[in-house]
Structure 1
C-alpha cells in the first residue's frame, strides 16, 4: 500500500470514527422504527440516513438501513451492539451493526484478463473504493507487475481442476493470514468448491460476463453474436454453490447492433463488467446490501 492510500484510509477512519451502520431484516410489524429510534436516542445518537423497504403486500418482510452518528462511539460500540440484542430478539431481527471506521480487508482473485482488476485498483487509488486491498491472488503471473506497482502483495497459486483441493487449501491459508473480510473474483476463471464458498458466506463477489441468466457458460459473446442480440451486459452477484445463480447485486447493459462483431462486443462487455463490479464491491463495502434469500435489497 502506498503512503498516499494510507493517508486516504486514515482520513476516512478519522472522519467516520463516530459513525455506525445498522442493517435489519425482520417480519414487518408496527413499532420497529420507533423501537430502533428510541434505542439510538438513549445513546444520544443522531440518525444521519435511513432507508427502508417492506414487502408487506407480498408476505411481510421489513428491511432498513440506518446510518447514525454518536459521540465517543469507539468507546460505546460494543455496549451498543450488546444492548441492541434485546430489541433484535423482540422483533425477530436478522441484523448486523458495522462501523465505517473499521475498514474492511479485501482480497482480489484474478486470472489473465485484468480489466476488472485494473478498475478496482484505480478506484482504490483514487479514494473511491474505501478498503484495504490486502492481497491479490492469481493462478497466472500476468498481473504481478501491475499489482506490485500499487504496493500490494501478489501471490501466485497455480489452480486447475487437477489440483483444486491443494490450491484452495493454500488460498484459504492466505485469506486467514491476511484476515480477509471480502473476496472479489475479478474475472477469476476457476470454479470454487462448496467448502470454499461455505467458509465465506455472502463475502464473495463475482462478475459474470453476461446479463444473467442469459448465456451462462463458455464463449458468451460468440453465442450472443450468433443470436444477433441487441443488448449485452454484465452481472455482479454473490457466489453460492449454485454456479452463477447467487443473489444479484448489480447489472448493466449497452445496446449493440449488426455492425458490432465479436471483438467489438467483447470490448463493450469489458467496459460494462468493470463498472458493474466496481459498483457492487463499493456497495458491499459501504454496507448497503441485505441478502434476502436469493435476492438482494440494495439501499
Structure 2
C-alpha cells in the first residue's frame, strides 16, 4: 500500500466525484483512477462503487476511510516532528549545572527558553564540574554549566558569571561572626576540601591563592559532596570553601546545616562560571544557547 494511493482514495471519499478529486490533487483523472485500482488490489476489496450517475463508498470503503484518515494524519505529524527536531524546535536538552548556575543563571534562561520554545523539554541535573564534563564528553549531557574552561578539544564555552570563593565555617568556629579574613590566616586552620577531579578549576584556584599567600593548606578531610562538606563544617572546627552564592545560602539556615561564610581577601579566589557544549552539538542545543544571559559582573 502506497501513501499516495491512500491520499487519492481519501480525496475521492471527500468529493464523491473523480473530476473534482483529481483537480484537488492536481492529477489527471486516469492517474487518479489507477491509484484507486492499485489500492483496492492491495487491500483486496472494493472501496468505491461508481456508475454513470453517482460515486459512493462501499461499506468496506467507509470503514477504510476512517482508519485511512488517521494514517495520513499520523504520517503528517511524524513529518512535522522530524522537521521541527531538525530545526531545533522539539526534543529534550540535557543540562548540567552547579549551585551558582542554578541560583543566578537558570531562572532567567528557562523563562526565556520556555517562552520561545515551548515544544523543547529540559532534563536538568545538579553536579560538580568534573562529573558534568565527563557526562558531556560521553554524550549524556548537551550543555554543562561549570567552573573553568574545558581543555578538551571539540568543546566550546561561554562565560556566564565570575564568582568569588568564601570560607565556610560552623557557628561555633572561632571565625564565626567575622566578615572577612586574609587568605594567609588559613595557615593556622584545618581545612576540608574535595578531590581535584570533582572541580579542577575550584581546586586550583584555592591552591593558587595559598601559593600567592606563601602558605600551605592543612587539608584535614576530603569530602566530594558540597552538601556533606557543609555538614562537616557545621559540626567540626574546620574551614571549607564555597562560592559566595552557596555560602550565603548556608548562612540563611534554610533547613540545612547552619554555617556562616567569611569573605577571603589578599587574594580573593575568583572562579569563572561557563556554559560548555560540544562543537558538534545537536541543532536544538543552539536554542538554549541563544537564551543564555550576557556575562554578568562579579557575583557576590
For normalisation by structure 2, the TM-score amounts to 0.25
Greater CA radius of gyration, 1 or 2? 2
Higher normalized helix content (fraction of residues) = 2
TM-score (norm 1): 0.25
